[in-house]
A = this chain, B = another copy of it.
Amino acid sequence: MSLKEVQKKVDDWAKQFNPPYWQPLEIMARLTEEVGELARELNHIYGPKKKKSNEEIKELEDEICDIIMTLCCLANSHGIDLDEAFERTVKKLYERDSKRFGKKTV
């Protein structure tokens, strides 16, 4: 599934509603909520109570995808093409961030 398709699937779903997308700061608050749920899940798995299991990893997957879904809502409501934007991000990573951390020595 390409990023374009991911965005399209979210858009198909959103178009059932009127308006299809919330206001930007409403989507932002929702994103913050979803990120909070991911944080809780990671604390479940790696935090003080540690309970890593297949069940928890599945939850982790769901939380990550809920965030991606919310980001797609934001992108779609701004007409942003994530495929194109992500290419730029990868390029930036190599250019800017490659000096930041200790690279593997051969």
Contact = CB atoms under 8 A, between A and B. Distances in A.
Contacts of A31: 35, 38
Q: Chain A, interface size: which category?
A: 35 or more
A19 B98 CA distance: 14
Interface in A59-106: 60-62, 64-69, 71, 74-75, 78, 80, 82-83, 85-90, 92-94, 98, 101-104
A48 to B, nearest CB: 5
15 contacts: A6-B86, A16-B104, A18-B103, A24-B42, A26-B47, A29-B40, A30-B40, A32-B35, A32-B39, A33-B36, A36-B36, A36-B37, A49-B101, A61-B75, A61-B80
